[in-house]
Amino acid sequence: MPIELTTSACCLPKLTRGELFKAAHEAGYRWVELFTGNASKYDPAGEPADAFSAHGVGVSALHLPGDLAKAKQAVDLAAKLGVPQAIAHGAGAPAEAGRWLAPTVAYAKACGVEVVVTNHKGQSIESPEDVAAVLKACGPDAPQVLLEAGHYWAAGLDASEALKRFRDRVRLVHVKDLDAHGRSVPYGTGAAPLDAFIQDLAASGYQGRLCVELEMRELHTAEIVKHLSDARFVVAAGLGVAMAGR
């Protein structure tokens, strides 16, 4: 199965959900990830059955609230609406993840939803060592891994080494291009080792989704959509695949 591209509500956090789906479609994406904390947020307590269908764009993942009860509600929603993955952030100390994350992972498994845990600069799970501590603490109910390349680079860490370390558990990957100060920039213009990482990803045999992120919120929506569209071709070139479209 080829790597499939998705994008995220983090790129256009001020849009309503319908506006986000439309913008993602215009940029050439079939999938988006949704949060609970922005204009395009979902309600973990429940949504109508057609809530995530618009403009031919589907929801590839939901970010989990840090509260255990609400996280379980989000898993229920994902299962009901056919969203395959739920993303966990650092809601507590990595060594204590058996308490705050493992119960959600176990619950999600029973619902047919895969939980992935992400690294994030400035959060409790920032380094590969933090990720490893989470996996160890959760034991048999350990999550899979979301490798956030941009946040590794922003923290001065090597995303390709993290890919090697967690290869057997990586089920989702996020990328962005960054300037020398760690700020998001249009793809192909930054200082991050984006091309080398994408090539490493392709060579690793990874077959999950690759989320294209661009956090330049000062730009107008049309400019962000154009940059997201262009990013697809930069990423595809690194993967060594042809991409139809503009």
pLDDT tens string 7-16: 999 999 999 9
Average pLDDT for residues 131-135, to the nearest whole number? 98
Query: What is the full DSSP assignment across the chain?
Result: ---EEEEEGGGSTTS-HHHHHHHHHHTT-SEEEE-SSSTT---TT---TTTT-BTTBEEEEEEPPSSHHHHHHHHHHHHHHT--EEEE---S-GGGHHHHTHHHHHHHHHHT-EEEEE--TTSS--SHHHHHHHHHHHGGG--EEEEEHHHHHHTT--HHHHHHHHTTTEEEEEE-EE-TTS-EE-TTSSSS-HHHHHHHHHHTT--SEEEE----TTS-HHHHHHHHHHHHHHHHHHHT------
Average pLDDT for residues 16-42, to the nearest whole number? 94
Average pLDDT for residues 170-182, to the nearest whole number? 97
The pLDDT assigned to 49 comes to 78
The reported pTM is 0.95
pLDDT tens string 63-111: 999 889 999 999 999 999 999 999 999 989 999 999 999 999 999 999 9
Q: What are the boundaries of each domain within the chain?
A: 4-239
- What fold does the segment set 4-239 form as a domain? TIM Barrel (3.20.20)
Does the pLDDT value for residue 245 go beyond 50? Answer: no
The pLDDT assigned to 1 comes to 56
